[in-house]
Amino acid sequence: MKSIRPIHLVLALSVSLTLACDVTGDPVVPSGAKLTIKTPTNQP
Amino acid sequence: MIKDRQDVQVAFDVSGFMLAAPGTCSGTVGCGHWIATVDGPKCNPDKATYAASGGVDKSFAINFDKCMTPFWGPHQINVELVTDTGMATVVDSRQYPVSDSVMVTAAATYVSAQKILSAKCTPCHTVGSSGGQNIGSVYADAIKAVSASAPAACKDKKVGECATIRIKDGSMPQGAGCTGDPTKDATTPACLTADEQAVLDSWASNGLLQN
């Protein structure tokens, strides 16, 4: 039976943190977000 | 096309993302706000001029007068999603920013042009029918062909187009002593300013729209 070495834990933790946050500390947004501008118009 | 000097209302839709006021997402994944820019950094150097406070309000107004780019002409409107801190752009599964942009053109119509023509071309072209036209008071006169006596530079032009040409070459307003260069004419009230010339240029180059 293989044992879990400390280095494995560090790598796993590092990967999970990378996936969860960007460099600003904001949560990463899951894919699928979409933004669409409607036609601009003169204000009434 | 955006007509005359009015603020522009822009609305947009967002899906797959929760909008909230900046700094209020409390760590919620898929939450943030949006930032709008006009003409890149040239309308909002601090990238805040057109940024809304987030929330569910997915619309905002633009005043092109805040731009360093010329008011009349094309403008690019861009809206993008950013993270709760506003420090990072939200990206999709392909790592592209979640954003959208559109181009609009601000064009002057006779509504704007007439204010200038009626003030600077009176009385000859408001009631005097000089050259057979009262461009300062009658729209139909602005879109008719120039008379046979018009200068060569106005050949095959409409009266409204000819007016901009003659204002810029200094021959109009006639007898006012204008050179057509707004800088040189700055001390002569009868001459057109750079802003006034820009309005007439926009009107002429966009087909002499009535309204």
List, run by run, the mean pLDDT of 10-residue segments along chain B (211 residues).
Answer: 84 92 90 87 61 68 81 90 90 90 93 97 96 97 94 96 97 96 97 96 96 92
Find, in chain A, the residue whose alpha carbon is nearest to that of B6: A42
How high is the pLDDT of residue B100? 95
B27 contact residues in A (CB cutoff 8 A): 27
B6·A35 Cβ contact <8 A? no
What is the pLDDT at residue B153? 94
Contact B38, B44 (CB under 8 A): yes
Q: Residue B155: helix, strand or coil by DSSP? A: coil
Alpha-carbon gap: B94 to the closest alpha carbon of chain A (Å): 8
Residue-level pLDDT at A26: 58
B8-15 and A41-42: which strand pairing? antiparallel
What's the pLDDT band for A44 if we cut at 50, 70, 90?
A: very low
Q: Is the pLDDT of residue A11 over 50?
A: no
Contact residues, chain B, for A35 at CB < 8 Å: 12-14, 17, 34, 79-81, 98-100
Of B27, B79, B92, the CB nearest to A33: B92
Q: What is the pLDDT of residues A20-43, one digit of tens each?
A: 455 555 555 556 899 999 877 654
Helices (H) and strands (E) in chain A, counts: 1, 2
Check CB contact under 8 Å for A33 and B101: no
Which residue of chain A is at minimal alpha-carbon distance from B23? Answer: A26
Determine the length of chain B: 211
Residue of higher predicted confidence among B194 and A17: B194
Rounded to whole angstroms, the Cα distance separating B9 from A35 reads: 17
Strands B2-3 and B99-107: parallel
- Please judge whether B92 and A36 are an interchain contact, meaning their C-beta atoms are less than 8 angstroms apart: no
Strand-by-strand arrangement of the B31-38 sheet? B2-3, B99-107, B73-83, B31-38, B18-19
Phi-psi region of B105 (alpha: psi -120 to 50; beta: other; left: phi over 0): beta
Query: B18: which residues sit within 8 A by CB, 6+ positions away?
Result: B25, B28, B30, B31, B32
